[in-house]
A = this chain, B = another copy of it.
Amino acid sequence: MSNSPVFILIRPQMAENIGMAARAMMNCGLQEMRLVCPRESPTSDKAIAASSGADGILKTATICSSTDEAIADCDYIYATTARRRGMIKPIRTAHFAAEEILQNSQRKYGILFGPERTGLENQDVCLANSIIEIPLNPEHCSLNLSQAVLLVGYEWYQHKIMAPGQQFILGKTTFATKEKINLFLQTLENKLNDSGIFQQPEKREHMSINLRNIFTRTDITEQELNTLYGVINHLNIQKNSQKEE
């Protein structure tokens, strides 16, 4: 976590948003918050309540009297803004910036977030090396302050942990082996055969292929195979007893 970026909120207006921003930072494993001239205190009751347990971030947040003071020890600054200005400046997506931060572990990054109503002023944006512009619906791209903090933090955390895209929860069971699934399908087909369902031989092959496709595609576990044996055993008994009537 050596180069976790510092999140710098410039003149935030509402304590709830400071609290929710802290919550979003904690969701993303971020810790260092700085506030430039906040209108309300980060340790006010409203901020603490909105942080849902992320009050550690609020209590250690640094309060600065200017953006220059807040960025002094950083060597690279991003400004988050949705509005394009006349400024000549590189723009990155939050995704690209996250990659950049993690690939440059020797650097200290700061990320500026503007006030709720107006966003960052040009005087703040020009202090940034580049702009983070989150690609969103151009008809409706205004984000709540804590939502902007969440998206930038989220991208950083995703790049940091590189979670596998997909997994499978197995709990205490394991996937059934092909042998066991095959045995089950044979048992099922024998029971179907006994029930007299296969009058035409071609129907048997068609059904056999479909059943194999279904149970191969679905990744059956040992535990589920037991459930399936229970089902076919029960169904068969009912069938037989119906027949006997």
Q: In the complex, which residues of chain B have a beta carbon less than 8 angstroms from the beta carbon of A85? A: 169
A151 at the interface (CB under 8 A from B): yes
Instruction: State the CA gap A224–B163 with chains docked (Å).
Output: 43
Query: Judging by beta carbons under 8 Å apart, are A88 and B20 in contact?
Result: no
Instruction: State the CA gap A157–B53 with chains docked (Å).
Output: 30
Copies in the complex: 2
- Give the residue of B88, B140, B169, B173 whose beta carbon is less than 8 angstroms from that of A173: B88
Query: Judging by beta carbons under 8 Å apart, are A91 and B24 in contact?
Result: no
Nearest-neighbor residue (CB-CB) of A53 within chain B: B140
| Closest beta carbon of chain B to A77's beta carbon, Å | 15
Instruction: State the CA gap A162–B144 with chains docked (Å).
Output: 23
Instruction: State the CA gap A88–B170 with chains docked (Å).
Output: 5
- Give the residue of B86, B95, B165, B167 whose beta carbon is less than 8 angstroms from that of A158: B95
A196 at the interface (CB under 8 A from B): no
A66 at the interface (CB under 8 A from B): no
Query: Judging by beta carbons under 8 Å apart, are B87 and A166 in contact?
Result: no
